[in-house]
A and B are shown apart, each in its own frame.
Chain A
């Protein structure tokens, strides 16, 4: 499976680091791209990633009301919802993309997110859009 997590530097990435320190094992199919803030995520990034063959995508930002950049996580949420509706219009399952909120001290929650995305990936199967070479 190919799963990309767009994570904010302050919470998502730090939580993944903590999960590493705690040796919480998750699937190596999950690759993180670090953003300065979840609000940096653009629908274009998400759709491009799907076109290039990503099976699942997720965005992880700070807890609600606790965003380092005040409301970046809410901006991210809006864009995730937008991307979801585009996916659904294309006939794909909206659950392929999800927004999560966590804090930098929640390594266990990062593992949960990773496991949840893997579970959904095995349920939904590979990306139907992937260009066959």
Chain B
């Protein structure tokens, strides 16, 4: 193995304001290590003057990698990547010894000095085994966003995306978006605009290949063909609930109201949130707004809303108060009521406080939703992990909401605590994420990614199965390969490979072992 030349930088402020590290003896210790070309003390690594000093040192002395003893890599890594690239090195040819947060701050002076030496030695050992990592900044090939859906969410997502200056296409199976006729025209108006503004393709997704920024999509059905897009948004609405005889759906009831026929004297609206475990504020919103509309038009009518729970969060709270002021009666039920249809229908239910109830009604409306099979079949085509309701699993619900497990594919949740206003903000949030990907100057790829040594691979599919991101695949030569554009660098495939054919950059098996060895070399304190 050829001689490595390692430069070591020690940040003068690594010891903290307490100055609890003896940086000079740390420098002396590390300069005695093999292959270390120079040790420089930098006033402050994170300051521009410090970086200029480092850059000069890297250019003058012909080092091919460097170690920085400073604070946490979580805060310094990106800055040093840039510095390495400026110095003409591979941006991953450095390691960081965290002698600040993990030594100076947490131990007594003697202990901290000893541990800092150990940490720096480990970083040098790890640095020695670094190899240039694949790294690429790729400009997105296509800035078109493909929205797959069939209703409100697809339309809103398309509108939000095009508002950010991206091209949109909506893939709909039946060639038309099913848009609910909301009582609120303010919401419906922008929808019409987006319907005209975005090209709707009718067909089904047949396959998707490629990487974020350059997906190749095949479409079958009414229109078949190939198209290229940069990102995909899966935005299916829940389907309206199936209805028994004598029960109206919200859509039917809206038509009935629009026809100008006399309104029913007593109306029961059943808000179905028993079927799924998710509350359905959207259904509740519809029920409350309808109740208000009926009572304004015909004050002698009575409206009762049967529900398990009143979920009126945020803006909906004022809707609830308005409905109550208009004399709407909310009836709590613990289970789906039994409805006997007829000229006057009877709705039987059990109120947890009052007990058994039988309500007479001129009309019964059921507001509820069923799961949409479209999203499950899309997941199947894309090979995405699914939730029990057929929606793609979100990457990390709290921190990366709206991202599916596959990079470049986004999800708009059909359930959750959303009212129609919240659906829009949900769509806007996902649109912003898509724009961040596609409008960025370049998508960074590579770094700490896995790589297969083809000679050792027996194509057992362990890596293909364990990867959460679908990065490994088996080539026609029956060898696994990892697409580094999709690899997120978790290293699970490396560990799971029975032939040890996979290793990863920046965290190779040899590096982890070398770090361990360096940490354990000294006699027990």
Contact = CB atoms under 8 A, between A and B. Distances in A.
A40 B122 contact: no
A40 B102 contact: no
B520 A28 contact: no
A40 B495 contact: yes
B127 to A, nearest CB: 13
B115 A31 contact: yes
B468 A54 contact: no
Interface stretch (B277-285, B287-295, B505-513): B505-513
A69 B105 contact: no
Contacts of A79: 495
Interface secondary structure of B, over-half rule: helix
A103 B251 CA distance: 46
B509 A42 contact: yes
B257 interface: no
A2 interface: yes
Contact of A45 (B102, B490, B504, B512): B512
Interface in B385-416: 395-396, 398, 405
B468 A4 contact: no
Contact of A29 (B396, B488, B525): B525
Contacts of B114: 28
Interface in B447-466: 448, 466
A79 B398 CA distance: 27
A28 B115 contact: yes
A69 B100 contact: no
Interface string A22-35: 01111111011111
B112 A28 contact: yes
A124 interface: no
A80 interface: no
B74 A14 contact: yes
Interface string A1-38: 11010100100011011011101111111011111110
Given A23-B105, A35-B507, A44-B509, A69 B490 contact: yes
A41 interface: yes
Contact of B101 (A16, A33, A34): A16
Contact of B516 (A26, A27, A49): A49
Interface string B491-520: 110111000000010110100110111011
Nearest to B497: A42
A19 B509 CA distance: 28
Contact of A17 (B74, B491, B506): B74
A71 B398 CA distance: 16
B252 interface: no
A31 B448 CA distance: 22
Q: Interface residues of B toward A: which range? A: 35 or more
Contacts of B106: 19-20, 23-26, 28
Interface string A89-110: 0000000000000000000000
B495 A33 contact: no
Nearest to B448: A36
B103 interface: yes
A33 B73 CA distance: 12
A37 B516 contact: no
Contact of B405 (A6, A27, A42, A70): A70
B79 to A, nearest CB: 16
A75 interface: yes
A25 B107 contact: yes
B297 interface: no
Residue from B101, B105, B495 whose CB has the most chain A CB atoms within 10 Å? B495
A52 B518 CA distance: 10
A6 B516 CA distance: 10
Residue from B102, B490, B509 whose CB has the most chain A CB atoms within 10 Å? B490
B468 A69 contact: yes
A36 B490 contact: yes
Nearest to B72: A17
B102 A20 contact: yes
B171 interface: no
A121 to B, nearest CB: 11
B413 to A, nearest CB: 17
A37 B492 CA distance: 8
Shortest beta-carbon contacts, A-B, top 3: A20-B101, A40-B491, A28-B111
17 contacts: A2-B524, A4-B516, A6-B512, A16-B101, A28-B115, A31-B115, A33-B122, A33-B512, A36-B506, A36-B507, A37-B491, A41-B495, A45-B516, A49-B516, A49-B520, A72-B492, A79-B495
Given A17-B98, A31-B115, A42-B495, 14 more contacts: A1-B524, A2-B519, A20-B100, A20-B101, A23-B106, A25-B106, A27-B107, A28-B114, A31-B119, A37-B490, A37-B491, A39-B495, A45-B512, A75-B496
